[in-house]
Amino acid sequence: MNKNKFIVLAKDVINLEIKALQKLRKSINRSFNDAVVKIANCQSKVILCGVGKSGLIASKIAATLASVGTPSFSLAASEASHGDLGMISKKDVLILISYSGKTNELKNIIQYANRNKIYLIGIVSKQDSILYKASDTKLLIPQVVEAAGIVPTASTTSQLALGDALAIASMNYKKFGKLDFKKLHPSGSLGAQLKTVEDIMIKGKKIPFVNENLRMSKALKILTEKKLGILIVRNKEREISGIITDGQIRRFSEKNLDFHLLPVKNIMTKKPITIDRNELAAKALSLMNSKKITSLIVNSKKKPKNAIGVVHVHTILQSNIS
């Protein structure tokens, strides 16, 4: 048996799918815009349905839409005619997926949607089909050559790609950002990468605040007590005026034996680097690496002169953020 035969076969299948996607890209028109606006403005649920392989694609698209802020689920076409049509309400948007558009299992759903004036988006390849004719918005997928001539491959790849495009475009329309995405993905490595500085910062009584006129002898006690290796220096208005690190203290003490008698403001570094509470923790880590520091003062855009926390490199790494 020639093992290279399977490598050639694999490349042939992938080439068929690439060609299908290229045809799909060229076919995108204003109907796509109409579908995006309708999905993004849906006041209820977006329901997807298909039969066979198209049904599996419907489930994946529904999951993607839900993950980017559009309430969505997939409906089994075989169950729809046995009571599950009751899941579809007049405020929903219904997306039916079928290559031929003539699948028997979809006919009852199409009739139900039309009868109840439920907005119907059809993802279909045949213009003479009942699905194409009945759809309010018609997303026509170009007809393609399938692998082995009959196996749904290139067509389902096109359906999936179109569904992904609808989800991302809807996300963009609604200005669904990283913080919104984080709320729906709190766990796992993705959740870790979407954590904000505020999620992991040290706050409250654990923050090592000192007044700029405090003597270093007393400031050292706070440094030891808080165990962060830094002191955040504030003026009488409690605004950030500087920062002191344990490294600074060591270097200064070598040059000045009486440094413990000096006020904090004589030793501090003015205009310390800060980061907004809503920035991603990953950005904080990148900033620390570029500046070769281990801590950042956390503030907010509304009150940039007020420290509300400290983020330390160890805390970030312990949160599996890289």
> Tens digits of per-residue pLDDT, 111-155?
999 999 999 999 999 999 999 999 999 999 999 999 999 999 999
Nearest to 198 by CA among 286, 307, 294: 307
Look at residue 242 and tell me whether its pLDDT is greater than 80.
yes
3-state secondary structure of 298: strand
* Structure token digits, residue 12: 């042939």
pLDDT at 70: 95
- The C-alpha atoms of residue 243 and residue 102 are separated, in whole angstroms, by 71
CATH code of 4-176, in short, is 3.40.50.10490
User: β-strands 93-98, 72-76: how paired?
Assistant: unpaired
Look at residue 291 and tell me whether its pLDDT is greater than 80.
yes
CA distances from 56 to 139, 156, 157, 192 (A): 18, 9, 11, 29
pLDDT at 123: 98
pLDDT at 173: 96
Look at residue 23 and tell me whether its pLDDT is greater than 80.
yes
In this prediction the pTM is: 0.72
- The C-alpha atoms of residue 127 and residue 22 are separated, in whole angstroms, by 20
pLDDT at 3: 73
At the fourth CATH level, the homologous superfamily of domain 197-318 is CBS-domain (3.10.580.10)
Nearest to 121 by CA among 56, 51, 49, 26: 49
> Tens digits of per-residue pLDDT, 255-270?
776 778 889 999 899 9
197-318 has the same fold as 4-176 = no
Nearest to 295 by CA among 223, 231, 214, 226: 231
- The C-alpha atoms of residue 127 and residue 34 are separated, in whole angstroms, by 18
- The C-alpha atoms of residue 38 and residue 32 are separated, in whole angstroms, by 10
Residue-range domain boundaries for the chain: 4-176, 197-318
pLDDT at 144: 94
pLDDT at 322: 67
DSSP state of 30: H
pLDDT at 246: 87
Look at residue 1 and tell me whether its pLDDT is greater than 80.
no
> Tens digits of per-residue pLDDT, 181-240?
777 777 667 777 788 899 999 999 999 999 999 999 999 999 999 989 999 999 999 999
Mean pLDDT over all residues of the chain?
92
Mean pLDDT of 82-90: 91
- The C-alpha atoms of residue 13 and residue 27 are separated, in whole angstroms, by 21
Q: How confident is the model at residue 253 (pLDDT cuts 50, 70, 90)?
A: confident
Nearest to 84 by CA among 127, 54, 55, 43: 55
Q: What percent of the chain has pLDDT over 70?
A: 98
pLDDT at 255: 76
